[in-house]
Chains A and B, each alone.
Chain A
Amino acid sequence: MSGNSSRSPQPSPCCAGSPFGRRWILGGLAALGAAALAGPGRATENRSDEIRFGLTPVFLNSDLELLTRLKAYLTASVGRPVELVMRRTYQEITALLLSGYLDAAWICGYPFIQYQDRLSLVAVPVWRGQPLYQSYLIVGRESPISGVSDLRGDIHAFSDPDSNSGFLVTQALLADDGETPSTYFRKTFFTYSHRDVVRAVASGLAESGSVDGYVWEVMSEIEPDLTSKTRVVRKSEWLGFPPIACAKAVRGKPTTERIAQALLTMSDDAAGRQVLDILRLDGFTPGDDALFRGIAQKYDQVRRLG
Chain B
Amino acid sequence: MTRLLRRIGGWPVAVKVPLVVAILMVAISVVFSNQILVRLSQTQQRHLEQLASAYLDGMSSSLVPYVLRDDIWEIFDQLDRSRERYAGLSAVYTIVAGLDGTILAASDPHRFPSQAQVPRTLTDRFMAAGDLALAEDEGLAFVRRTLSYQDRSVGAIYAEIDIHALLAERRQVLLTLIATNAALTLVFAGFGYLAVRRMVRPIDILAAHLERGRGGRIEPVPLTGIGSKHSEFGRLFRRYNALVRALSERETLAARLAEEEKMGSLGRLASGMAHEINNPLGGMFNAIDTMERHSDDPLVRHSSLQILKRGLVGIRDVVRATLFTYKASGETTRLRARDLDDLRVLIQPEVGRRRLALEWRNELPDELALAAGPVRQAVLNLLLNACAASPVGGQVNMEAAVDNGTLVIEVADQGPGIPPEAANILNAADVDPSPPKHGTGLGAWMVNRLISELGGAVQATQLPAGGTLIRLTVSAKQNVGLRHVA
Kindly supply a per-residue 1/0 record for chain B positions 105-142, scoring 1 wherever the CB is within 8 Å of any chain A CB and 0 otherwise.
10011100111000000000000000000000000000
Contacts of B81 in A (CB 8 A): 16
A2-B71, A2-B72, A3-B73 given as contacts; is B115 within 8 A of A205 (CB)? Answer: no
Supply 7 further A-B pairs (C-beta < 8 A) apart from A2-B71, A13-B77, A196-B73: A155-B113, A200-B76, A203-B80, A204-B108, A205-B105, A205-B109, A205-B114
**CA–CA, A203 to B76, complex, Å?**
9
A187 at the interface (CB under 8 A from B): yes
In the complex, the answer to whether B73 meets A157 with C-beta atoms within 8 Å is yes
In the complex, the answer to whether B109 meets A186 with C-beta atoms within 8 Å is no
Contacts of A190 in B (CB 8 A): 73
**CA–CA, A190 to B108, complex, Å?**
19
Option from A2, A186, A200, A203 in Cβ contact (under 8 Å) with B70: A2
A149 at the interface (CB under 8 A from B): no
Count of CB-CB pairs between chains A and B under 8 Å: 44
A4 at the interface (CB under 8 A from B): yes
Return B379 CB to nearest CB of chain A, in Å: 116
In the complex, the answer to whether B77 meets A155 with C-beta atoms within 8 Å is no
B327 at the interface (CB under 8 A from A): no
Query: In the complex, which residues 157-191 of chain A have their Cβ closer than 8 Å to any Cβ of chain B?
Result: 157, 186-187, 189-191
In the complex, the answer to whether B69 meets A205 with C-beta atoms within 8 Å is no
For B113, the closest partner residue in chain A by CB is: A204
Query: In the complex, which residues 131-171 of chain A have their Cβ closer than 8 Å to any Cβ of chain B?
Result: 155, 157
**CA–CA, A271 to B69, complex, Å?**
44
**Which of B70, B71, B72 has the most CB atoms of chain A within a 10 A radius of its CB?**
B72
Contacts of B105 in A (CB 8 A): 205
A203-B109, A205-B114 given as contacts; is B69 within 8 A of A191 (CB)? Answer: no
**CA–CA, A200 to B72, complex, Å?**
10
**CA–CA, A16 to B80, complex, Å?**
11
A204-B109, A205-B105, A205-B114 given as contacts; is B73 within 8 A of A187 (CB)? Answer: no
Contacts of B76 in A (CB 8 A): 200, 203, 205
**What residues of chain B have their CB less than 8 Å away from a CB belonging to chain A?**
69-73, 76-77, 80-81, 105, 108-110, 113-115
Contacts of A189 in B (CB 8 A): 71-73
Return B46 CB to nearest CB of chain A, in Å: 31
In the complex, the answer to whether A200 meets B73 with C-beta atoms within 8 Å is yes
**CA–CA, A117 to B334, complex, Å?**
153
**CA–CA, A107 to B417, complex, Å?**
145
Return B232 CB to nearest CB of chain A, in Å: 78
**Which of B72, B73, B81 has the most CB atoms of chain A within a 10 A radius of its CB?**
B73
Contacts of B80 in A (CB 8 A): 199, 203
In the complex, the answer to whether B115 meets A4 with C-beta atoms within 8 Å is no
Option from A16, A204, A205 in Cβ contact (under 8 Å) with B73: A205
28 residue pairs A–B, Cβ–Cβ below 8 Å: A2-B69, A2-B71, A3-B71, A3-B73, A4-B69, A16-B81, A155-B72, A155-B113, A155-B115, A186-B115, A187-B72, A187-B114, A189-B73, A190-B73, A191-B73, A191-B77, A199-B80, A200-B76, A203-B76, A203-B80, A203-B110, A204-B108, A204-B109, A204-B110, A204-B113, A205-B73, A205-B76, A205-B114
